[in-house]
């Protein structure tokens, strides 16, 4: 059962709506510990002074900002605390914008906002009004001493809150050297464009999140389970193939032909693979 990680209120105008904040995602990363291969014991991390070789006690650690090679400006906890944003319990809405105006590159982490005790009506009113207007709220909130820019929008009957990157945190595309160097090779002709559109059309389908899985994570967990049962597993890394720049027209023609193949290549094959994996998982769960 998920637990609220923050509680406060949405504030816009003179209206305050008490809410609780829940993370909208549960990361499924496979985590490993560092183990001594000879003894099988877990390795302990230590803070070692590289000059004296001695361990530095935690209470002696201070924050330092590097301003040059081996040159640091140290900052005390009290100095940082004096600069922290005011710790309020409000999500202050500053603007309402159209969802299409926000480039997805600015989104960071999703949360759910649910109404706190007695706030159901006001919460529902804001949800419905935003949904009818087709608007997204841009707001600021302080969580764990960090000021966050956030986007609030109605989704599936609840208000979601997505933390956002600030504009200066997004790397501009004109700073990518390789992209600039390839400007002379970026011209396309009408036939190439038409074939590319055909390929996109042949691979187009409805977005079904359940179709996509972290296949690498599934393979890692399968490997762990087999080794935990005492099986000796020999894994051979696939040979690394040199990068090839294909003939564009030939690649487009072959891709379109494969996508239209009655054998179920392209998008159809991807759907079949997804269904097969889902059925296999259900059978495994049933056995357990």
Mean pLDDT calculated for residue range 249-268? 71
Residue 19 has pLDDT above 90, yes or no: yes
> So what's the pLDDT on residue 189?
85
**Contacts (Cβ under 8 Å, ≥6 apart) of 233:** 223, 226, 227
> So what's the pLDDT on residue 185?
63
Which residue has better confidence, 1 or 250?
250
As assigned by CATH, the class of the 1-26+56-183 domain is mainly beta
The percentage of the chain sitting over the pLDDT mark of 90, rounded to a whole number, equals 41
Answering whether pTM is above 0.85, one says no
Read off the pLDDT band of 262 (50, 70, 90).
low
Q: How would you classify the pairing of strands 15-23 and 71-75?
A: unpaired
Residue 288 has pLDDT above 90, yes or no: no
Residue 264 has pLDDT above 80, yes or no: no
Which residue has better confidence, 207 or 6?
6
Helix (H, G, I), strand (E, B), or coil: what is residue 102?
coil
Helix (H, G, I), strand (E, B), or coil: what is residue 85?
coil
**Contacts (Cβ under 8 Å, ≥6 apart) of 14:** none
Read off the pLDDT band of 219 (50, 70, 90).
confident
For the chain, the domains span: 1-26+56-183, 188-233+247-287
Which residue has better confidence, 249 or 68?
68
Across 139-148, 153-162, 221-230, the highest mean pLDDT is recorded for 153-162
Alpha helices in 183-266 (DSSP H): 190-202, 215-228, 248-260
**Token reading at 81:** 């605390």
| CA-closest candidate to residue 194, choices 264, 256, 260 | 256
Q: What span, in angstroms and rounded, lies between the C-alpha atoms of 270 and 255?
A: 14
Mean pLDDT calculated for residue range 150-173? 94
Helix (H) or strand (E) holding 65: strand 63-68
Q: What span, in angstroms and rounded, lies between the C-alpha atoms of 85 and 153?
A: 25
Integer Rg of the chain from CA: 26
């Amino acid at each position: 059962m998920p637990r609220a990680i923050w509680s406060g209120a949405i504030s816009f105008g003179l209206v305050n709506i008490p809410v609780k904040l829940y993370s909208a995602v549960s990361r499924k990363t496979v985590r490993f510990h560092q183990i001594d291969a000879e003894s099988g014991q877990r390795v302990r991390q230590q803070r070692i002074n590289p000059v004296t070789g001695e361990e530095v006690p935690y209470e002696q650690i201070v924050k330092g900002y590097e301003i040059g090679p081996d040159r640091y400006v140290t900052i005390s906890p009290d100095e940082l605390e004096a600069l922290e944003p005011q710790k309020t319990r409000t999500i202050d809405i500053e603007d309402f914008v159209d969802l299409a105006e926000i480039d997805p590159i600015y989104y960071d982490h999703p949360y759910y906002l649910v109404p706190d005790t007695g706030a159901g009506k006001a919460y529902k009113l804001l949800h419905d009004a935003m949904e009818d207007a087709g608007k997204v709220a841009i707001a600021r909130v302080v969580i764990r001493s960090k000021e966050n820019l956030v986007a609030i929008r109605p989704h599936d009957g609840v208000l979601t809150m997505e933390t956002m990157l600030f504009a200066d945190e997004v790397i501009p595309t004109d700073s990518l050297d390789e992209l600039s160097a390839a400007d002379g090779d970026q011209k396309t002709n009408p036939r190439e464009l038409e074939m590319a559109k055909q390929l996109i059309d042949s691979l187009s389908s409805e977005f079904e999140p359940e179709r996509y899985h972290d296949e690498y994570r599934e393979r890692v967990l399968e490997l762990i389970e087999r080794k935990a049962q005492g099986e000796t597993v020999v894994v051979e890394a696939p040979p690394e193939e040199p990068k090839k720049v294909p003939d564009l027209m030939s690649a487009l023609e072959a891709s379109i032909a494969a996508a239209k193949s009655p054998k179920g290549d392209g998008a159809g094959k991807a759907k079949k693979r997804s269904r097969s994996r889902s059925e296999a998982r259900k059978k495994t769960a049933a056995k357990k």
